[in-house]
Structure 1
Amino acid sequence: LVLEFDLLFFAFGNLGTVIQAWLVMFVYTLFVPYYTLVFWGSLYHTFPSKLGLSLGTGLILSSIQTCVLGLYPIYVVVDNQLPPASRFIVILEQIRFLMKSYSYIRETAPVVMKDTPKEGESPTLPTFSSYLYFLFCPTLIYRESYPRNTHIRWKYVGSTLGMILGCLFYGYFILVRLCVPVFRPETKQPFTTRTMVLAVFHSILPGIMLLLLCFFAF
């Protein structure tokens, strides 16, 4: 049995553009929200107009967020006509970075507002390392620290990565061998309602298997 990977290469095509877009979004999310909050938090308790400072900082940050994490990924996807899997990566990472940056600001700003520093002391602000860890931690609620093991279980990481790759290739096999041929008949018969119904019913079981694989892999 020979399995060709043309469809897989097509779906994940133009990865250079995907990596470039991801780096732009990652670098922006890593530095801009963090240092914006540091700037706002360091001035909040001493600034004459706290409301004006908060509104000004919020409006500027929202405008930049809209451009970098809102419009830029969509422009990259549409302008470069990325294939399905590649554009899926860009859009999912766009949503993830938006939710991460929002959670960081939403959870940290009230703490800074309530924690009034003593005279001569600097306000308590979150550390850069904790924010960096949060960007890769599988959670959407920002905390300064999370329950962690004393060491990295590399065997578990390797086995999990292997299962994800296995699910990817098995799903590709199901798609190419059981789904695509059904919707690409080799005969030149006219397309009818009967043909569509038969194709849908023939794809139900492979579709269920693909959904189970996606659920297991994610």
Structure 2
Amino acid sequence: MDSKEINDGLHQRIKQEKTIEVNKVNEDKHQPLSNEKIKTTMSVEEVREQMQKLREDTINQVDEHLQDMVSKIVEGIQCIETNKYEKYYNDKKKVVEGDVLSEKEFQVRNSMLTDLCNEVNHLRALSNICVTVLFILTVNTAVDDYATTGSLQLGFTTLKLGFNKFSYVVSMWLKMMMFSIGVYIAYTVWAQKRMKLSPKSNKIKIWDNSWLFLFIIYQIAFLIVPSKFIMENNLPPPSACVILMEQLRILMKIHAFVRSTVPSIISYKSHTENNKSPIPGFSNFLYFMFAPTIVYRDNYPRTKEIRWRFVAWHFFQFSMVLHVMTSMFERWVIPTYKNYGLEPFNLQKFILRYFNTVLPGSIIFICGFYGLLHTWMNACAELLRFGDRLFYKDWWNSVTYARYYRTWNVVVHDWLYFYIYKDFYENIVPRNKLVAICSVFFISAIFHEYIIGFSLRLFCPIMLLTFGGLGFGLVFLTRRNTSIFGNIFLWFSLITGSGFLICLYSMEYFARINCPKRYDNIYDLIIPRFLLCYEDDMR
């Protein structure tokens, strides 16, 4: 046999075997399965189902774990952000425990703008934009000065005239500080004598009431003497304003010192306190008199060292802000109102004057905040290594007037809260929030008007009416507002309101220079003269 025949035989045999296998498979398909085959088939299905179930369970568990991990990461980030900014808001608890309000907690922390400018590049860019705008306004002022006077004034004329009697300011400030030290000496005499008296002695009541009467006399005299000094020496408004602000600062500090320490003197018992005197040392008192706070503590958190570059930079910023404010007055406010009362009344011109004052008024308002509450306070705090720099909060984000008043000036707000509101709520009119709030607004409005009135030497109670009346009402009208429109309304009212205040006070100031007297009695003092300048023209 040749090879071709052999190959053909092999192919035919293979074909026959394949045919037999196919037939066998077809027969198996039509035959019933045996028990063993059924068991084998069922076990495979069960394994497949279990594997599918295991796969689903595994996927679900992994998904749950991933969700938990993501949630924990997000919570951690939120916690970090909360803790990062919580230091600005946990200075005192808002919860009222029974009838007693909580106390302020001091801690080491920067001012809000200090941290924001260091951490947020966008805010730093916004700050650079503001500097650029102020620079352009300065150039505008310089060009106007040169065009009108042939020289560059740049606000220095206003500064020179405003502080040409600065030696009087220094003299009065030194006298006020000496009187304050005298109060500490008198307080020490009262405390030492009282601790020696028997608690059951009738002399204690006489002793306490006598010194309380003297303390009230001191407070009244401390209000009268500096204001009389200003009127007698005819101090210009900036110099007068410095004296009056220092007068109220010292007066509030003395009240805070006495109010905070007297209870420990009254409750002192020598046989139970190991003869440790509760009288604060003179160094504690002296530090408090210069510290940038008006809430008294025996000790405050302190920083480790003085950063002299920080001090120099903030004092430099303060001088620049003061320059911008005086330039605004010299360039926009004074030329607009200096002839008030010399020309016939014109409603269109009056409206134009007001709108010309809105922009410089808003710049003066913001510069006043930044210059006093940020640059000056931070520089003084650094010099004294005072750790708590919470002089303000993010008032610019407020959507209600209640929050704005709490965050705009934290230093003054703390004093009003702890020494006025707290005393009224706990002792004078227990658990009556409305009376406590009214007392805070009334006292604050009175002293705001007091500073403006004696600085300008006039009585035109615009601040008293707007702050104590309209401002008080807006607290209740906006207290439930949570939308962005509340913040828009706040800024609109602040910008237009600052222009309104500068407008009316400038009109009254120059009216008393340009307009003749209509009365020679008390009416000339209490009736705003800008209302009488055009009385004949309006008839």
TM-score normalised by length of structure 1:
0.90
Question: Offset of 1:184 from its aligned partner?
Answer: 4.6
Structure with higher Rg: it is 2
Q: 1:53 to 1:189 in 2, by over 3 A?
A: closer
Deviation digits for residues 101-121 of structure 1 (CA, Å, limit 9, x no counterpart): 010000001011222123993
Query: 2:164 — aligned with what?
Result: 13
Query: 2:290 — aligned with what?
Result: 136
Distance (Å, rounded) in 1 between the aligned partners of 2:242 and 2:335: 26
Query: 1:108 — aligned with what?
Result: 261
Q: 1:107 to 1:6 in 2, by over 3 A?
A: same
Residue segments in structure 2 that go unaligned for 5+ positions in a row: 1-141, 143-151, 373-539
Q: Which of residues 185, 195, 200 in structure 2 aligns to 1:45?
A: 195
What residue identity is the alignment partner of 2:320? Answer: G
Q: Which of residues 174, 196, 203 in structure 1 aligns to 2:328?
A: 174
Deviation digits for residues 47-104 of structure 1 (CA, Å, limit 9, x no counterpart): 232111111111123223322x122101101111111001101111111111010100
Query: 2:310 — aligned with what?
Result: 156
Number of corresponding residues:
214
Q: 1:153 to 1:200 in 2, by over 3 A?
A: same
Structure with larger RCO (C-alpha < 8 A, sep 6+): 1
Are 1:198 and 2:352 counterparts? yes
The answer (yes or no) to whether the contact 1:130–1:144 under 8 Å persists in 2 is yes
Query: 2:182 — aligned with what?
Result: 32
Distance (Å, rounded) in 2 between the aligned partners of 1:85 and 1:180: 14
Question: Residue 45 of structure 1: SS of its match in structure 2?
Answer: helix
Question: Offset of 1:189 from its aligned partner?
Answer: 6.3
What residue identity is the alignment partner of 2:293? Answer: T
Q: 1:117 to 1:206 in 2, by over 3 A?
A: same
The answer (yes or no) to whether the contact 1:33–1:105 under 8 Å persists in 2 is no
Query: 1:76 — aligned with what?
Result: 229
Question: Offset of 1:191 from its aligned partner?
Answer: 3.9
Deviation digits for residues 148-194 of structure 1 (CA, Å, limit 9, x no counterpart): 10111222111111111000001122222233333357xx9644111
Question: Offset of 1:37 from its aligned partner?
Answer: 1.8
What residue identity is the alignment partner of 2:182? Answer: V
Question: Offset of 1:6 from its aligned partner?
Answer: 2.3
Q: 1:189 to 1:55 in 2, by over 3 A?
A: closer
Question: Offset of 1:26 from its aligned partner?
Answer: 0.6
Distance (Å, rounded) in 1 between the aligned partners of 2:332 and 2:219: 43
Residue segments in structure 1 that go unaligned for 5+ positions in a row: none
The answer (yes or no) to whether the contact 1:117–1:124 under 8 Å persists in 2 is no
Deviation digits for residues 3-45 of structure 1 (CA, Å, limit 9, x no counterpart): 252222112221111111111001111x222112211111213
Distance (Å, rounded) in 2 between the aligned partners of 1:78 and 1:23: 18
Query: 2:217 — aligned with what?
Result: 63
Q: 1:189 to 1:94 in 2, by over 3 A?
A: closer
Q: 1:182 to 1:60 in 2, by over 3 A?
A: closer
Question: Residue 355 of structure 2: SS of its match in structure 1?
Answer: helix
Distance (Å, rounded) in 1 between the aligned partners of 2:357 and 2:295: 39
The answer (yes or no) to whether the contact 2:169–2:239 under 8 Å persists in 1 is yes
The answer (yes or no) to whether the contact 1:116–1:123 under 8 Å persists in 2 is no
What residue identity is the alignment partner of 2:170? Answer: I
Q: 1:64 to 1:114 in 2, by over 3 A?
A: same
Query: 2:250 — aligned with what?
Result: 97
Question: Offset of 1:123 from its aligned partner?
Answer: 2.8
Identity %: 25
TM-score normalised by length of structure 2:
0.38
